[in-house]
Structures are given as structure tokens and as C-alpha cells.
């Protein structure tokens, strides 16, 4: 799952070293355009439904936080 | 009561004394009474609108909070005996109940704003259309008064309601404390548009008097007055001169009027924010940042992330995200993918949401077609810059441009400044048509000789005034660069010895008193965003 996520992120912003970043949202590395594109990709790839309530910086600041969100949503079905 | 008035300074001194002298338990009540007194000065009749919006927001918040708590209890109680489908069905039911509450509250609160701010504009345009198609077109225009800060507190109330719908926090159960959140005086006139979880708690808990914090707050207030009185109100003189009668001017004069207006608005609005933040800081309350040196932005989208940040983040959280992630927009994306291919299909819902956001940002500023054009101008630039990004990248690669050096960043900043300045024709021009005409004439008649033939000395300012403007911009630029580099200037000043510190303070006060641009009868002009 992590590899697939990193692949999606790389497609989105090739120049960012995602695994090293800890404040992707707080530091403005990913903007709202990126987030909307990313959410659409994640929903399609992992068969989940990320909604507006999930769009908190804490859920997107790091790769691990994104993975946790995906796992949580997959469990909730 | 205006921030730029002796009565405001006296009011703040009395309020601060009362706040720190009052027992902890009642400190918040001092703020509540003080804030209503402050707001009451804008017209006692208009207080009714604020109290009504506060009431609607508070009680719908309670309702949403109760629904949230009941559903959480129900799900916990029946955790074992509900199937996944049953849980989903129950959640959907709860969600539609909450949606009804949100819809009612938003319609009422937003309805008041739309009616008071846009009724005449809508009526006028309907009348025009009716006349064109052969009807009488006599919808009467009304004499409507706009309550101070309505565009700000309405957005604040909607954010609170939607956050409760989303279950972000629990509702406030004390009407009077909640009223303080809605009316808190430093921010009611022109923001920042605060979120409940950022501000409310700070208002309710008592704060002790802290010397360092109080002096830092006073420095920030002084800085705000410098921006407003020395720079904004001085630049306003030639800007108003040109925009009030643009016909005799062309080329660079028009462009500089628009660019000057951009600087004026920045100094005016961010100066007002500094005063609001400074007063709050004295009381121990941290207001969120509304500006982060927007003229250091390298693109229009970055500019909007640094300019009026709380309006931008409000639009992002309550319009852009919900729209672009909605089912309707997802379906639209799928359909357009079939027709226009993957790339456009993916981007279209986002672009459409962005256009809607900028249209709303535009009309939020006022009821006029020029604000619609202002929103469109920004939306078009942002969307086209994203669409053309691959082309730009190719050009940069072909021309072997180094994008990691200062000159490139400077180019980006200059480009953003010019684009922003052209947008200002729409936000400041008298009408949309005047703005378009000024825009065209600024481009069509390049006249660099106006810099040397004394043209600028016929616009209401003397040589001395231009020197003051130049030095002020230089000071703000240096301060901006230091802040960009993460240097905390007020902390640096605090580290200096007593004599040097007081030299700076007295120098700043003297500068405001001597170089402050005071209008006729020594009454400074009101803040631009106060009118919105």
C-alpha cells in the first residue's frame, strides 16, 4: 500500500521527497489543488471515500498519516 | 468607533484596565460588555442583526451538538447488534437531519447578508433585463443599512455551524460566552475571520498582566498605525485623484495608480490587522495571522495563500473542498473525461470549484459587476497558470533557466505584483467598464517620460510626500525580508538596552504624529475593509 501511495504522490509532485517531509500541509508543500487531486486518486486506487471531514492537516502532513487514514477508512468500509 | 481615533485609544485603555482589575471569573464578561459598547457605537439599531445571527447560530449549534451526542450514544449502545449496513443507514439518517439544521441556519444567516448587501444590486439588474425585454422593470430599490462587520461575522457563524455538522468540536452551551466569540471587538470590523476552536477558548479563560506581552502588543499597534497613517492614507491621495477622474491619464500613470492602490489596501488592511492583533496581545489573546507578506509571493495562487488568509482558508474549507469533492462534481468529471480525455476530465471539477470560489471572493467584497470581474481575473490567472504549467516547464528547460536563484524568484515576484496590480483596476475602478477602459489605456499608451516631467507632482502630493512613501516602502520591505528569514523583530528590539528601545518607540510615535497623513479636519480616513 505504501509503495502505491508513494507512486501516486510522485506523480502528483515529482520534486518532493515525501518520505522525509513531516509538514506537507503546514509548510504549504501540498496546496488545496494537490489535495483534491490526491483525494480523487486515493479514492479510486484504494476503494475508499475520503470526505471533507477527513481533510484535516494532520491526516495529510506525512505519508504515514495518509496511510493511517486509508487503513481507517478501509476498515470502516 | 474607528481604530484611528482618540476615543478608540481611550476605550482600549479603560477596557484593558477593567480587564486586568476584574476578578478572573468575570474577565470574559468585561470583554463582552466592552465589545458590545464598541459595536454599539456603529449604530445601536444595527446591533439587532448581530444579536439575531448570534442567536440563530448558537441555537442551531446546540441542536447539532445534541444530534451528534445522541447518535454517538446510540452507536455505542448498539455497537454489537448493528450490522455494517444498519450502521451506515443510521449514519445517513443522522446526517440528513443535521443537513436540515445546517441548511436552515445558513439560509437565515446568509439570507440576511445577501438581502442587505446585494438586494439593490440584484433588483437593479433584474430591472435592466425586464426593460430590455419590454416590461416595466420597477422593482423598488430599498434604503438598506449594512451592519458593521456583517460580511465577517456571517462567515464566522457559518464556519461554526458547518464545523459542528462535521463533528469537529462540541457546541458552546453558554449563550453569553458565545456572544463574545461573535462580537469580540478587535476583529468584528474587518476580521480576521476566526474559527471557534482557534479563538473562543482564549476569550473565555482569564489572562494575567504580562509586561513583555503588553509592550509587544503596543509595538504591534504602533506598527499598524504607521502602516495606515504614514503609508496607506498618503498613497490614497494620488490613487483617489486618478481613480476619481481617470480620463486625462494613461499609460504608466494608470498602472501606478492601480499598483499604488494595491499597496494602499495592503498597508491599510494589514495595518488594521496589526492594531487588532496588538490590542488582543495586550489582553493575552492571539488572533490568527491574516497576512504573510503577500507581495513576496511568486504566483497569484501563492499570493492568495498569503493575502487575507482567513478568507482564503474559509473559502477552501467551506466552498472549495465540499464542491470539488461532491458527488455532482465527481460525476461531471467522469462525463467530461469521456468527451475531453483524462487530463481535462480530472481537472475540470477542480477548476470549476476554483472559479466559483473566486467569484464568491469577488462578490464578497461588494455588490457590483466590477467585483465579479475582479474574481474572474484572479480565477482565470490561477487556472491558466496550472493548465500552462507543462508548457512553462518545457520553456524553462529549453532556455536552460536556473530556477534556484534569486533573480528567478525576483522575476516571479515582479510578475505576480504586475498581475495583481492589473487586477486592482477592477477592485478600485468606479465601475466595471471604467476599470476595463483604464486597464486598456494603461497598456496601450506607454509613457515613461511621466517619471521625469513632474506629472506625479500634480496628483496631490509633494516631493516630501513621495520621499516619505519611498522610505516607508523601504522600511516595510526590510522588515518583510527579515520576517521572511524568520527573524522576530519585536523580540530583537526587546533584547536591546533601554535607551535604544525607547529611541525606537519614541521615534515611531513621532513618525506617526508628524508623517501621519491626516485628512481634512484631522480625521483619518476609515479602513477600506471596514466597508465590506
Provide the ipTM: 0.85
Among B263, B199, B262, smallest CA distance to B474 is for B263
Closest to B320 (Cβ–Cβ): which among A32, A40, A53?
A32
Mean pLDDT of successive 10-residue stretches along chain B, which has 532 residues: 87 96 96 95 86 97 96 88 85 93 96 93 91 86 88 96 94 97 94 94 96 91 93 93 93 95 95 96 96 93 92 94 88 82 80 92 91 93 87 89 89 94 94 94 89 87 90 92 88 83 85 72 60 66
For B395-408, give one letter per residue: b (16+ CB within 10 A) or e.
eeeeeeeeeeeeee
State pLDDT tens for residues A34-45: 898 899 889 888
Closest to B316 (Cβ–Cβ): which among A28, A32, A50?
A32
Among B254, B273, B262, smallest CA distance to B295 is for B262
Residues of B with Cβ-Cβ distance to A39 under 8 angstroms: 325
Q: Interhelix angle for B369-387 vs B406-428, to 10°? A: 150
Domain boundaries, chain B: 6-208, 210-287+429-532, 299-409
* A15: pLDDT strictly greater than 90: no
For B413-441, give one letter per residue: b (16+ CB within 10 A) or e.
beebbebbbbbbbbbbbeebebbebbbeb
Instruction: Report the distance separating Cα B468 and Cα B229, nearest Å.
Output: 11
Which residues does A contribute to its contact with B (CB < 8 Å)? 28, 31-33, 35-37, 39-40, 50-53, 55, 77
For B319, nearest residue in chain A (alpha carbons):
A52
Are B324 and A55 inside 8 Å of each other by CB? Answer: no
- Owner of C-alpha cell 430599498: B142
Q: Interhelix angle for B196-204 vs B175-183, to 10°? A: 110
Instruction: Report the distance separating Cα B497 and Cα B452, nearest Å.
Output: 45
Among B97, B100, B106, B102, smallest CA distance to B67 is for B97
Instruction: Report the distance separating Cα B54 and Cα B39, nearest Å.
Output: 14
DSSP H helical ranges for B133-195: 150-165, 175-183, 185-188
- The pTM of the full predicted model, rounded to 2 decimals, is 0.89
- In 3-state terms, what secondary structure has residue B102? helix
Q: According to the model, what pLDDT value does residue B268 have?
A: 93
Q: According to the model, what pLDDT value does residue B459 have?
A: 87
Q: According to the model, what pLDDT value does residue B171 have?
A: 96
Q: According to the model, what pLDDT value does residue B307 have?
A: 93
Best of A11, A15, A36, A60 to substitute, by most chain B Cβ atoms within 10 angstroms, is A36
Separation in Å, CA B103 to CA B99, B117, B193, B446: 6, 20, 21, 52
Among B139, B193, B484, B224, smallest CA distance to B361 is for B193
Q: How many CB pairs under 8 A join A and B?
A: 38
Residues of A with Cβ-Cβ distance to B305 under 8 angstroms: 28, 31
Q: Which three cell numbers stand for residue B395?
A: 520553456
Residues of B with Cβ-Cβ distance to A36 under 8 angstroms: 320-321, 324-325, 349-350, 353
Q: Which three cell numbers stand for residue B439?
A: 486597464
The alpha-carbon radius of gyration of chain B (Å, integer) is 25
Residues of B with Cβ-Cβ distance to A45 under 8 angstroms: none
Q: According to the model, what pLDDT value does residue B519 have?
A: 54
Instruction: Report the distance separating Cα B154 and Cα B314, nearest Å.
Output: 12
Instruction: Report the distance separating Cα A55 and Cα A35, nearest Å.
Output: 8
Burial class (CB in 10 A: 0-12, 13-18, 19+), B7: exposed
CA distance A19 to chain B (A): 22
For A75, nearest residue in chain B (alpha carbons):
B84
Are B350 and A31 inside 8 Å of each other by CB? Answer: no
Best of B75, B325, B344, B356 to substitute, by most chain A Cβ atoms within 10 angstroms, is B325
Chain B residues 311-330 with a CB less than 8 Å from chain A: 316-317, 320-322, 324-325, 330
For chain A, the residue count is 77
For A26, nearest residue in chain B (alpha carbons):
B305
User: Structural domains in chain A?
Assistant: 2-76 (1.10.1200.10)
DSSP secondary structure letters along B281-338: HHHT--PPP--S-GGG-SSHHHHHHHSSHHHHHHHIIIIIHHHHTSHHHHHHHHHHHH
- In 3-state terms, what secondary structure has residue B211? helix
Residues of A with Cβ-Cβ distance to B168 under 8 angstroms: 53
Q: Which three cell numbers stand for residue B43?
A: 449604530
CA distance B204 to chain A (A): 25
Closest to A33 (Cβ–Cβ): which among B84, B325, B350?
B350
Among B267, B310, B273, smallest CA distance to B151 is for B310
Q: Which three cell numbers stand for residue B496?
A: 536591546
Q: How many CB atoms lie within 10 A of CB A12?
A: 16
Residues of B with Cβ-Cβ distance to A52 under 8 angstroms: 166, 317, 321-322, 325
Residues with Cβ within 8 Å of B440's Cβ and at least 6 positions away in sequence, in order, are none
- In 3-state terms, what secondary structure has residue B462? coil
CA distance B324 to chain A (A): 7
Q: According to the model, what pLDDT value does residue B525 have?
A: 64
Instruction: Report the distance separating Cα B387 and Cα B202, nearest Å.
Output: 43
Closest to A28 (Cβ–Cβ): which among B168, B305, B316?
B305
Are A36 and B321 inside 8 Å of each other by CB? Answer: yes
Q: Given CB atoms, is B289 within the 8 Å cutoff of chain A? A: no
Are B350 and A28 inside 8 Å of each other by CB? Answer: no
Contact B56, B105 (CB under 8 A): yes
Instruction: Report the distance separating Cα A42 and Cα A60, nearest Å.
Output: 12
Among B240, B9, B10, B51, smallest CA distance to B150 is for B51
Q: According to the model, what pLDDT value does residue B531 have?
A: 64
For B165, nearest residue in chain A (alpha carbons):
A53
- Owner of C-alpha cell 523580540: B491
Are B325 and A51 inside 8 Å of each other by CB? Answer: yes
Q: According to the model, what pLDDT value does residue B445 have?
A: 86
Contact B318, B163 (CB under 8 A): no
Amino acid at each position: 500500500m505504501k509503495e502505491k501511495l508513494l507512486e501516486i504522490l510522485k506523480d502528483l509532485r515529482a520534486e518532493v521527497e515525501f518520505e522525509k517531509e513531516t509538514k506537507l500541509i503546514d509548510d504549504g508543500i501540498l496546496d488545496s489543488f494537490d489535495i483534491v487531486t490526491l483525494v480523487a486518486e486515493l479514492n479510486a486506487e484504494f476503494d475508499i471515500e475520503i470526505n471533507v471531514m477527513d481533510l484535516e492537516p494532520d491526516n495529510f502532513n506525512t505519508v504515514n498519516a495518509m496511510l493511517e487514514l486509508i487503513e481507517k477508512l478501509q476498515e470502516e468500509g | 468607533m474607528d481604530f484611528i481615533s482618540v476615543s478608540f485609544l481611550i476605550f482600549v485603555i479603560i477596557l484593558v484596565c477593567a480587564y486586568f482589575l476584574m476578578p478572573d471569573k468575570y474577565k470574559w464578561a468585561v470583554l463582552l460588555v466592552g465589545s458590545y459598547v464598541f459595536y454599539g457605537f456603529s449604530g445601536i439599531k444595527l446591533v439587532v442583526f448581530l444579536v439575531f445571527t448570534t442567536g440563530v447560530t448558537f441555537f442551531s449549534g446546540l441542536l447539532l451538538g445534541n444530534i451528534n451526542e445522541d447518535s454517538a450514544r446510540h452507536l455505542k449502545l448498539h455497537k454489537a447488534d448493528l450490522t455494517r449496513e444498519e450502521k451506515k443507514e443510521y449514519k445517513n439518517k443522522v446526517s440528513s437531519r443535521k443537513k436540515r439544521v445546517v441548511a436552515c441556519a445558513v439560509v437565515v444567516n446568509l439570507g440576511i447578508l445577501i438581502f442587505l448587501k446585494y438586494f439593490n444590486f440584484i433588483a437593479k439588474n433584474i430591472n435592466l433585463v425586464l426593460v430590455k425585454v419590454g416590461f416595466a422593470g420597477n422593482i423598488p430599490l430599498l434604503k438598506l443599512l449594512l451592519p458593521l462587520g456583517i460580511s465577517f461575522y456571517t462567515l464566522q457563524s457559518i464556519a461554526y455551524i458547518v464545523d459542528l455538522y462535521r463533528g469537529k468540536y462540541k457546541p458552546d452551551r453558554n449563550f453569553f460566552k458565545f456572544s463574545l466569540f461573535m462580537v469580540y471587538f478587535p476583529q468584528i470590523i474587518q476580521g480576521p475571520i476566526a474559527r471557534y476552536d482557534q479563538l473562543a477558548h482564549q476569550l473565555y479563560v482569564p489572562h494575567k498582566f504580562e509586561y513583555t506581552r503588553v509592550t509587544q502588543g503596543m509595538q504591534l499597534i504602533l506598527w499598524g498605525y504607521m502602516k495606515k497613517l504614514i503609508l496607506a492614507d498618503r498613497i490614497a491621495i494620488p490613487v483617489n485623484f486618478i481613480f476619481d477622474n481617470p480620463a486625462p491619464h494613461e499609460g504608466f500613470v494608470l498602472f501606478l495608480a492601480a499598483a499604488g492602490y494595491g499597496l494602499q489596501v495592503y498597508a491599510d488592511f494589514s495595518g488594521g490587522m496589526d492594531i487588532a492583533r496588538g490590542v488582543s496581545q495586550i489582553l493575552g489573546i492571539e488572533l490568527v495571522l491574516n497576512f504573510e507578506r503577500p507581495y513576496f509571493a511568486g504566483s497569484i495562487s501563492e499570493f492568495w495563500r498569503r493575502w487575507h488568509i482567513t478568507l482564503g482558508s474559509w473559502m477552501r474549507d467551506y466552498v472549495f473542498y465540499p464542491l470539488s469533492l461532491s458527488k455532482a462534481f465527481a460525476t461531471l468529471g467522469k462525463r467530461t473525461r469521456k468527451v475531453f480525455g483524462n487530463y481535462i476530465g480530472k481537472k475540470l471539477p477542480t477548476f470549476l470549484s476554483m472559479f466559483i470560489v473566486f467569484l464568491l471572493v469577488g462578490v464578497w467584497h461588494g455588490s457590483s459587476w466590477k467585483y465579479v470581474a475582479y474574481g474572474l481575473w484572479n480565477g482565470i490567472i490561477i487556472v491558466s497558470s496550472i493548465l500552462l504549467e507543462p508548457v512553462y516547464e518545457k520553456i524553462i528547460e529549453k532556455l536552460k533557466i536556473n530556477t534556484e536563484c534569486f533573480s528567478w524568484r525576483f522575476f516571479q515576484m515582479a510578475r505576480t505584483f504586475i498581475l495583481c496590480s492589473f487586477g486592482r483596476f477592477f477592485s478600485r475602478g468606479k465601475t466595471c467598464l471604467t476599470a476595463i477602459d483604464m486597464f486598456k489605456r494603461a497598456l496601450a499608451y506607454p509613457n515613461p517620460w511621466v517619471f521625469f516631467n513632474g506629472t506625479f507632482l500634480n496628483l496631490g502630493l509633494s516631493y516630501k510626500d513621495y520621499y516619505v512613501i519611498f522610505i516607508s516602502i523601504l522600511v516595510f520591505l526590510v522588515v518583510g525580508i527579515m520576517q521572511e528569514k524568520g527573524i522576530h523583530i519585536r523580540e530583537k528590539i526587546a533584547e536591546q538596552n533601554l535607551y535604544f528601545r525607547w529611541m525606537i518607540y519614541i521615534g515611531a510615535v513621532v513618525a506617526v504624529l508628524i508623517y501621519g497623513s491626516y485628512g481634512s479636519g484631522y480625521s483619518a480616513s476609515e479602513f477600506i475593509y471596514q466597508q465590506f
